[in-house]
């Protein structure tokens, strides 16, 4: 078992995507199938971006198992009021600034759901959010 950890800073769109590109590199080294790498990178990128766009700070912990990858993203921030609604395609509370940068389509969480084998979300309004998901290798 191998583990990687990344800190994510809210509002820092220049750093956004760094964690997912390092994960991609690691998966290539491990010889994981391209289609599986794509699913993992979509999910980790969207999770990372959600911390940047909607939270103050966060941490991503990645655990590489022989037949799957497990990712936990914990953040401090505003939290999610209604998780069911947040999961709906097109739902977004992204600020005008975030939308002007091309984000805020409300597709991140639905894409994470689509590309993962198990997804759990816990959130407390005013405190933060924890997203955990697993992707099995083919």
Distance CA 89, CA 111 (A): 9
Residue span binding ligand ATP (CB under 6 A) among the ranges 15-23, 27-35, 61-69, 78-86:
78-86
Scanning the structure block, which residue is given the tokens 């992204």?
94
Joined tokens for residue 67:
């037949």
Candidates 43, 51, 62, 71; binder of ligand ATP (CB under 6 A) is: 51
Taken in order 115, 134, 34, 60, the sign of the CA dihedral is positive
Q: Which of residues 25-54 bind Mg ion (CB under 5 A)?
A: 50
Joined tokens for residue 92:
């977004």
Beta carbon nearer to ligand ATP, 64 or 130: 130
Distance CA 126, CA 128 (A): 6
Distance of CA 23 to the CA centre of its chain: 12
Containing H/E element for 97?
Answer: helix 96-100
Joined tokens for residue 81:
């009021």
The CB density around residue 60, as the number of other CB atoms within 10 Å, is 23
Q: Does 108 bind Mg ion (CB under 5 A)?
A: yes
Residue span binding ligand ATP (CB under 6 A) among the ranges 5-13, 24-32, 35-43, 91-99:
91-99
Q: Does 77 bind Mg ion (CB under 5 A)?
A: no
- In the complex, the smallest distance separating the C-beta of residue 105 from ligand ATP, rounded to whole angstroms, is 4
Beta carbon nearer to ligand ATP, 26 or 130: 130
- In the complex, the smallest distance separating the C-beta of residue 90 from ligand ATP, rounded to whole angstroms, is 8
Binding site for ligand ATP (CB under 6 A): 46, 50-51, 53-55, 75, 77-80, 86, 91-94, 103-110, 129
């Amino acid at each position: 078992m191998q583990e990687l950890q990344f800190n994510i800073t809210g509002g820092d769109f220049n750093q956004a995507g760094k964690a997912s590109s390092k994960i991609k590199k690691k998966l290539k080294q491990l010889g994981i199938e391209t289609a599986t790498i794509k699913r993992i990178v979509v999910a980790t990128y969207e999770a990372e971006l959600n911390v940047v766009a909607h939270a103050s700070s966060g941490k991503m912990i990645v655990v590489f198992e022989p037949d799957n990858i497990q990712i936990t993203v914990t953040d401090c921030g505003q939290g999610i009021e209604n998780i069911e609604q947040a999961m709906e395609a097109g739902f977004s509370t992204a600020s005008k600034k975030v939308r002007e940068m091309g984000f805020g389509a409300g597709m991140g969480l639905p894409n994470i759901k689509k590309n993962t084998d198990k997804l759990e979300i816990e959130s407390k309004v005013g405190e933060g959010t924890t997203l955990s998901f697993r992707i099995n290798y083919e």
